[in-house]
Amino acid sequence: MLTRFAPSPTGYLHVGNIRTALICWIYTRNQNGKFLLRFDDTDLQRSDAKYIDSITQDLKWIGVDWDASFKQSERFERYNEAFLQLIKEGRIYACYETREELDIKRKLQLKQGLPPVYDRSSLLLTEQKKARYEQEGRRPHFRFKLDRNEVVQWNDEVKGEINIATSHISDPVVKREDGIYTYMLPSVIDDVDFNVTHVVRGEDHVTNTAIQIQMIQALAAKVPIFAHLSLLHFDDSKISKRKGGLDTKSIKEDEIEPMALVSYLVKLGTSDPIEAHVSMQSLISSFDIKKFSSASAQFSLSEVYKLNSKVLQQMPFEVVKERLNQVGVDSPEFWYFIRNNIERFSEVAKWWQICKSNIEPVILDKELAKVVLNALPQGNCNENTLSEWVAAIRQTVDIKAKDLFMQLRLALTGTEIGPELAKLLVFIGRENIVTRLKK
């Protein structure tokens, strides 16, 4: 088995891309297959090396690796070879209409109630007419000639049996006037040359698949297995680069753990429950492409946020040890305590600073602070210190437990809310407690 993920390096990955990449990768790992990363950069003017770097880093961030990688811009010689072969066989032909002329044709067809399918008038051009167009400065674009008498059929792994009548599809442009190949032909040539066995992508490619099946057959190659995933929706609009989809850059800035996003996207649209996973292996072992529904899936960023805290709660110290060291935390005990009280990893550093650094305490009642200080139990703090301390304080002053806890928290942490105070005292330590109360 060989799957491929083929982003265009014209922008950052968004959640729709990420989901496709993850499902392709997990599918092939589940089947002990190979994963190919291909960059569709035939449009050299729009492609940018910075996006190639960004895409590779983002894939690594979510835990996706690959067995091979290449750029389409490295294979123009091969595309030209197949292109000339298909021209010779009559499956690709030159067209000389301008965009304005094609637009007029489409409008007339629609006005007459006809489908806006290209009329193949260029097939009737004489060599003299073509030469005249060339002298006028026109440059041809090229189309692949579909077999219009065929209904293309395949058994889609997600959508089931699909039938597409090519009589309703225009012959696709495979090369533009400026000589740039469009998506269609290079993609097919790559799939054929690299023996791609499974193509997993969004359902917006269903019509493209019918076209590409005919192209594959024209190249006398084996047709791969297709799976078309339902598109993601966000705030009632399809998530895409053109519609302001959530890109990985924004997700990282929101401090989403990669496994929170992975846990959500891999199960979204399936019959499986969406749960927090801290390793890929459990997702790989439970994967089944047939669990995906053909119905549209609603992406909810708030659900990812919820998973984020759950993922953190399940992370063992060994997994986050290096990240903890980077913020000065070297205590496994502190991690196992604090992970149940945070929504973002950055909050670890905040609470470590509260425990270990010189903070500005909030003292609401100086007289009470003196009583509290005098009542502090001797010795190192443990999880029983707070209950003993509170009992001793209330023997001296008449104060509601709720008010006392609030003032203690403010005096010791400078905040009104936070993790369980009884356990927090252990990490603050008696010396810091005394210093803060004396302030």
Tokens of 10: 């014209």
User: Distances in Å between the alpha carbon of 347 and those of 340, 342, 418, 419, 429?
Assistant: 11, 6, 11, 11, 20
- Give residue 104's identity as a one-letter amino acid code: I
Q: How many CA atoms lie within 13 A of 142 on its CB side?
A: 20
- Between helices 385-396 and 421-428, what is the axis angle to 10°? 100
Q: How many CB atoms lie within 10 A of CB 211?
A: 23
Q: Are 227 and 199 in contact (CB under 8 A)?
A: yes
Q: How many CB atoms lie within 10 A of CB 127?
A: 7
Q: Are 313 and 341 in contact (CB under 8 A)?
A: no
Residue 241 marked ligand-binding: yes
Q: Are 58 and 12 in contact (CB under 8 A)?
A: yes
Ramachandran angles phi, psi of 45, nearest 5°: -70, -35
**Exposed (0-12), middle (13-18) or buried (19+): which is 6, by Cβ within 10 Å?**
buried
- DSSP letter at 328 equals T
- Give the 3-state secondary structure of residue 115: coil
Ramachandran angles phi, psi of 17, nearest 5°: -60, -45
Q: Which residue has the tokens 């429950």?
A: 273
Tokens of 271: 């019959």
- DSSP letter at 3 equals E
Q: Are 221 and 192 in contact (CB under 8 A)?
A: yes
- Between helices 401-413 and 385-396, what is the axis angle to 10°? 120
- DSSP letter at 181 equals B
Q: Are 317 and 335 in contact (CB under 8 A)?
A: yes
Q: Are 233 and 239 in contact (CB under 8 A)?
A: yes
Q: Residues at the annotated binding site for ATP?
A: 241
Q: Residues at the annotated binding site?
A: 241
